[in-house]
Structure 1
Amino acid sequence: MGRISLKDTRQKEIILAFYTVAKKIGLENASIAKVADHMDINPSLIVHYFKTREALFSGLIDFILEQYSDIYKTNGQDYTNARELKQLIDNLFSRKWNKLFDDSVFYSCYALVYRDKKIRSAFKALHESLRKLLTDALQKANKNGVINIRNEKETVEIIFALMEGAYYYLGMVDSKTDYTRKLNMLKKHALLQLGL
């Protein structure tokens, strides 16, 4: 059994502190100095592990992926029946996303893809990873005869467009009743894509 590296542990602590500071004061205001202050450490220690603020962003994007991939960890990861696949879609179209990662930090991070090529590349990799997780699930379900779709990747693109559009748009809906109704409508269309 291998030992957990102190470097990995320290980097995770710094990324979590960066996330906490970004939630509190906004990503655009989160700096190495403010993260160090939050952790009550010298900023040079953060620079030792993350040479630049952009490197911290890259670590934060990896953290987002790690958090979001938890959505795919359902009890029946073999997708041998419709119930398991419906549970995955329920998870994708649920408030669980919001509990995994703060929307304001996510969308602030997303805005940076238009200004920074490295962050754009990291964010693109994040989205490709999430799509691959769903593609893998649909391929298993297809292989097991749970669904019968010709192109899993195309179906995944449609489901993600519904889901991402839903979260962007529904972030502005104040009524819990309207939010739930609209989210359920979009989830129904995702299930229709799968023939469920």
Structure 2
Amino acid sequence: MIEIITTENIHLYRTEMDEAYRLRHDVFVDEKGWRDLAQADQREIDQFDNEHALHMICRQNGKVVGYQRMLPTTKPHLLSSVLADLCEVERPVGDHIWEWTRYCVAKPHRERGRALSPVANALLSAIVEWGMESGVDRIIIEMEPIWLLRLVQLNFMVTPLGIPREIGGDSVVAVVAKFDHRTLQMLQAMRGNSKRVLKDCPPSAVVAAQ
């Protein structure tokens, strides 16, 4: 199951968050080569890992194997503060729109071919479940353009916010992706069950989104 971590309960997840920050460093610094994010302690942490961030982790056998971070667009976030050049239209802002960042899955748990891995499916399903319970129906994503078709196939309604730009050697495009019950149904169909993937959310995970 996917666990949500906020400023309210992060003190209970010190070990898990340490593993998550190290997974982020492995993926974004060591694999992707984003050397600007490199840290001597091998923990990738930035200015958005603050009291407004909502972290989601996936654990298997007690170890963090998947992670993603949600940021409210009503507060400073990547598109507003770091990657503003990716947006060529009026920037989407609102309590119902959050930014999806730092998505990463440990190597042994990634998809092979076109199908989403169980961990990837659970992380995406968690966004939709959380959003539908919290009044959130759109996410901003900065991603490689190849993901556009994948998201459409998962029943996200995707709108580019600008043209792709070269960032750190990668082509990156910003999009806003709308989702609803059809998105969740597609993800459930892909994994073959309709079981809830989210554990009980701390109150701040829902209140913060309203």
Considering the TM-score relative to the shorter chain, is it more than 0.5? no
TM-score (norm 1): 0.32
TM-score (norm 2): 0.31
Higher strand share: 2
The structure having more radius of gyration, on CA atoms, is 1
